Structure 1
Amino acid sequence: MKPHVIIIMADQLRYDVLGMGFTPNIDSIAADGTAFGRAYCACPLCVPARGSFFTGTYPNRNGSLINPWEPADAVCGDVRPEFGNLYTMMERDWDSIHSGKQHLFTTGGKLEDRVDSRTRWFSTEKSYKEFLKEHGIAMPGGGKFRTKVPEMVDGKATRVSSYSNAETGRYEPGEQYYFDSYFTEMALEGLRRRDTRKPLLLNAMFLAPHPPLQIPDPWYRAVGAEDFALPENIGVYYPRQSPLQMYNLTGIVGTRYGREHWKEAWRVYLGLVRMLDHCVGRVLEELKRQGIYDDSLILFTSDHGEMLGSHGLFQKMCMYEESARVPLFMKFPKAFTPSEKSYDQVVSHIDVMPTLCDYLQVDSGNEMDGTSLMPLLRGESRAEDRNSAYIQYDGNGSRSNFQRCMIWGRWKLIVDLFKDETFYELYDLEEDVQETSNLMFDGKHDEIAEEMANRLAAHSRETGDLLTMAPFDAAGFRRKYEDFPVL
């Protein structure tokens, strides 16, 4: 029989909070398998991140660019019908079970509403709301935990939207009514009711540690302020980081808080991380109870990261490591052992589906942009064969703010665009892990910046980007910005 496949995805999980002692169950997946230390999402936003992860294609190619909340731009949130996804590729031969957040949007409607779906949808956000309504319980969050921000619709008109902020509180209804407790119970129900005649495909999609940061006991009290130290870049808006971030939710919400508030936000966020780990542990325990853990390919990741005060920013929607870099752990069935316990090559979420198709011998039905990691996992490819990744952001609920990014070995180039303005950031990720010094202003790295800008522009053209980037001009860029006061 084909291997069982378990995909476990967190939402908005910083890669750097793993291995701190808060996540023993998640860490065990890496301990029993392998970890990719430099993995990146294709877009630091929920819907397009998942569109790319589950199809192995770039947002530009598959059409899912934003969260489709604004009707005028909603079509830019859907994966085009010619692209298959993990569900449609595997649900014929695997017993496909889903529990949790479902933010893979496709043209023609949601996956779970397909009349021909062979996946069993044990829970989604819709069924969670119905569960709360049945018990007369309010959802976590509310007015205190949301902030009004401007959002440009169709690039022409500004509306006022409301998004999660970094306020914290206790969720009084209790743990049994929280998102991830419900999703976990439904995932366990799915595992107990699986069709043992077929290999299992479980997609366990957790919401944690995505805000709102209103969480139940015991997790609200699970982490003390003395249990962690804030990174140095928390609450710091660095000289020469893009001022265009102040047009985006990240800056509008994030810059209102100082380090004292971020300390409490971190404490509650890490409580959510501990809750996530507990939920993952329950799923792993059930796999072991059923005797299928050793015969399962288990993949753990997050759709993207979370700034949580780094660079003075909140949420994701930007290209800094805390937002765009993701954990990626893979534990294979006992018949296959990866060549290394960890890899430091640059890899992307778009490589996951080609890897699964390669290992499981599944026909994708269409061309994918990513490349299989199996040669790397078998020890057949060289380190220099993998040293670049491309990331894009096209706005949150509508197409409005734009960023393009290339990681090339130790270098990262960020191109931030709003209306007719373009701002560049270049970082050396080996020497400047927290991205505090924008090398575009020292005049010594123009050659590498231009090479990356040209590669990024070529990538945009090749993938059918709706955005056209201005020609790169390092000297002109500096003349425009270097005389501005540094706050």
Structure 2
Amino acid sequence: MSSKQPNIVMLMTDQQRWDTLGCYGNEIIETVNLDALAAEGTVFDHAYTPSPSCIPARASLLTGLDPWHTGLLGMGAGQGPMETGFAHTLPGVLSDAGYHTQGIGKMHFYPQRSLNGFHHTLLDESGRVEDPQFVSDYREWFDRHKTGPYDFVDHGIHWNSWMARPYHAPEYLHPTNWTVNESIAFIKRRDPRKPFFLKTSFARPHSPYDAPPVYFDLYDRKQLAEPFIGDWAHMHNKPEDAVSPTAWRGVRKPEEIRRARAGYYGLIHHIDHQMGRLIQCLQREGLYENTMIVFLSDHGDMLGDHNLWRKTYAYEGSAHIPMIVKLPRSYGRTEARVSKPVAIQDVMPTILDIAGVDIPGALDGSSMRGLMQGQGTASANWREFVHGEHCACYSDEQEMHYLTDGRTKYIWFPRMNSEQLFDLEADPGECRDLTRQQEEQQRLQQWRRRLIDILAERNAGLTDGVNLINQAGKPPIVSPHYKARVKAGR
């Protein structure tokens, strides 16, 4: 492959909501570098995760497949770990096509040193130790460079907590800085005769909400938006669920919610500054013009919306993600914004399309190139809506399937046998459930029918082709593709 082939940089954050960038209308947070990238590229207004938690979302990104076909429908309940054995992976296809491929930061693979097609990885696994004697590259580096007798988790906040405080160590030791430092080092020591694919995968703004003090304090002084609380959110008010420092739901004090949001916003501001360093490096090295840059997150964070925390939910804070794509300059000016519904599994075929590499025929995702370049046929033939799902993780009330086109959202809770319907144009915070409104019954039936048609193809007992079937008390559904793939990978 010629060195003139475009380089590809994927900038990925962990658990970042779609509405936390200036280019998505947030007037409080400062994301200058990402907003500048958006001004040069395309902003996808309705980008969604196919499964709003780390492992299944990242598996779809890695493979271009829906969760049913990766075999990962969530976290837990027989759905993981990610394992290996995928027929095709994005870094693997690019490596085979002559790219020098490198993954830096959070990969969430299993075994943890699996490459899944990368030539090399440098890992920050946020404290996960899933292999005997595994120590992440970040933690080894932290221990070598720290200035006192403290550990990288001595701030006292759990990896899934709603609690927040400023980072306890010098800023240069923060994992966000390390991730960019290693990315810049790769760019300088890569094989110069090959195009490269670099995945820079941040472990934040996923909790702990531990922004360095300068960023934390900035947002702690600001007036931040209050959480959305729906007319249905009382179902998540149970006091017994709220007492844990890792509670996934429950009513918290206003100052606790505001502090969490200050830490979360501060982490994103910090990431934006560090991304700016990486972009400046590309420019200094003369690589920027011929580099495709993809920015996205795996899923969002509820941040107290509807008395919920973390992810795995179908709601906008959890399922709606930011996505920005800047093509190499030689591709010309692209559409500033795309309103068609896109999903994480569309990223792999898009990158391969731009790289001029054959796209494997078995992918569920589609190339977004035509949407970005304003091709009318691509827009006319694009999907009408996206489908997402997650198995029960914290409780039966969580298991869900959702459909959305960015204007309407339909959610089905199989183990509760209940539904929700939201008009996202009139009610972007999903505060008014329309399922009981008589004038919305036709719309409700239309979206329910769409989900029945999708699930009927699985023949997994979720529908009889006419109705959705209550799953209360039944064993969790495990995709047959999971066991088949894991067996193939061993």
- Shorter-chain TM-score category? 0.7 to 0.9
CA offset digits 1:309-367 (Å, max 9, x no partner): 11121111101111111111111111113542111111111111121222222234451
Work out the number of aligned pairs and report it: 442
* Structure 2 residue aligned with 1:203: 199
Identify which of 87, 94, 97 aligns with 2:99: 94
Residues 472/275 of structure 1: CA separation in 2 closer, same or farther (3 Å cut):
farther
* Structure 1 residue aligned with 2:288: 293
Contact 1:84 1:366 in 2 (8 A): no
* Structure 2 residue aligned with 1:9: 12
* Structure 1 residue aligned with 2:485: none
Identify which of 112, 129, 132 aligns with 2:139: 129
Q: Secondary structure at the match of 1:223?
A: helix
Contact 1:51 1:64 in 2 (8 A): yes
- Separation in 1, partners of 2:154, 2:451: 39
Identify which of 70, 84, 89 aligns with 2:88: 84
- Say whether residues 1:402 and 2:414 are aligned partners: no
Residues 242/221 of structure 1: CA separation in 2 closer, same or farther (3 Å cut):
closer
Give the Å deviation of 1:378.
2.5
Residues 337/467 of structure 1: CA separation in 2 closer, same or farther (3 Å cut):
farther
Residues 319/288 of structure 1: CA separation in 2 closer, same or farther (3 Å cut):
same
Give the Å deviation of 1:12.
0.9
- Which amino acid is 2:456 matched to? R
- Say whether residues 1:368 and 2:380 are aligned partners: no
- Separation in 2, partners of 1:359, 1:262: 42
- Say whether residues 1:55 and 2:63 are aligned partners: yes
- Separation in 1, partners of 2:80, 2:395: 8
**How do 1:233-382 residues align onto structure 2 when only pairs under 5 Å count?**
233=228, 236=229, 238-241=230-233, 243=235, 252-381=247-376
* Structure 1 residue aligned with 2:488: none
**How do 1:40-51 residues align onto structure 2 when only pairs under 5 Å count?**
40-51=48-59
Contact 1:128 1:179 in 2 (8 A): yes
* Structure 2 residue aligned with 1:152: none
* Structure 2 residue aligned with 1:171: 167
Contact 1:99 1:204 in 2 (8 A): yes
- Separation in 1, partners of 2:398, 2:306: 18
Q: Secondary structure at the match of 2:108?
A: coil
Give the Å deviation of 1:397.
8.2
Give the Å deviation of 1:443.
2.3
CA offset digits 1:94-127 (Å, max 9, x no partner): 111221111245xxx34x435x955222343221
Residues 65/252 of structure 1: CA separation in 2 closer, same or farther (3 Å cut):
same
- Separation in 1, partners of 2:460, 2:436: 29
Residues 294/138 of structure 1: CA separation in 2 closer, same or farther (3 Å cut):
same
Residues 17/82 of structure 1: CA separation in 2 closer, same or farther (3 Å cut):
closer
Contact 1:86 1:353 in 2 (8 A): yes
* Structure 1 residue aligned with 2:176: 180
Give the structure-2-normalised TM-score.
0.82
- Separation in 2, partners of 1:374, 1:113: 30
* Structure 2 residue aligned with 1:138: 151
**How do 1:449-460 residues align onto structure 2 when only pairs under 5 Å count?**
449-460=444-455
- Separation in 2, partners of 1:202, 1:399: 38
- Separation in 2, partners of 1:465, 1:372: 28
Gaps of 5+ in 2: 126-135, 471-490
Give the Å deviation of 1:179.
1.5
Q: Secondary structure at the match of 2:339?
A: strand
Greater strand percent: which structure?
Answer: 1
- Separation in 1, partners of 2:225, 2:124: 34
Give the Å deviation of 1:270.
1.0
Give the Å deviation of 1:444.
2.1
Contact 1:30 1:330 in 2 (8 A): yes
Contact 1:242 1:424 in 2 (8 A): no
- Which amino acid is 2:182 matched to? M
- Which amino acid is 1:113 matched to? S
Contact 1:297 1:331 in 2 (8 A): yes
Residues 38/447 of structure 1: CA separation in 2 closer, same or farther (3 Å cut):
same
- Percent identical residues: 26
Give the Å deviation of 1:77.
3.3
- Say whether residues 1:468 and 2:466 are aligned partners: no
Larger mean CA deviation between 41-50 and 74-83 belongs to: 74-83
Q: Secondary structure at the match of 1:405?
A: strand
Give the Å deviation of 1:253.
3.3
- Separation in 2, partners of 1:290, 1:403: 46
Gaps of 5+ in 1: 147-162, 477-487
* Structure 2 residue aligned with 1:156: none
- Which amino acid is 2:6 matched to? P
Give the structure-1-normalised TM-score.
0.83
- Which amino acid is 1:201 matched to? F
Identify which of 15, 18, 33 aligns with 2:41: 33
- Separation in 1, partners of 2:237, 2:105: 31
* Structure 1 residue aligned with 2:479: none
- Separation in 2, partners of 1:267, 1:376: 35
- Separation in 2, partners of 1:189, 1:465: 49
Residues 232/181 of structure 1: CA separation in 2 closer, same or farther (3 Å cut):
closer
Give the Å deviation of 1:424.
0.6
Identify which of 156, 181, 188 aligns with 1:192: 188
Give the Å deviation of 1:471.
7.9
Larger mean CA deviation between 342-351 and 250-259 belongs to: 250-259
Q: Which runs of 4+ in 1 moved over 6 A?
A: 244-251, 397-400, 470-474
Give the Å deviation of 1:46.
0.6
- Separation in 2, partners of 1:435, 1:117: 40
Give the Å deviation of 1:399.
9.4
- Which amino acid is 2:100 matched to? D
Larger mean CA deviation between 181-190 and 389-398 belongs to: 389-398
**How do 1:208-223 residues align onto structure 2 when only pairs under 5 Å count?**
208-223=204-219
Contact 1:49 1:304 in 2 (8 A): yes
- Separation in 2, partners of 1:175, 1:255: 32
- Separation in 2, partners of 1:467, 1:248: 31
- Which amino acid is 2:119 matched to? T
CA offset digits 1:114-147 (Å, max 9, x no partner): 5x955222343221222234456412366x534x
- Separation in 2, partners of 1:317, 1:242: 19
- Separation in 2, partners of 1:219, 1:51: 32
- Separation in 1, partners of 2:69, 2:411: 20
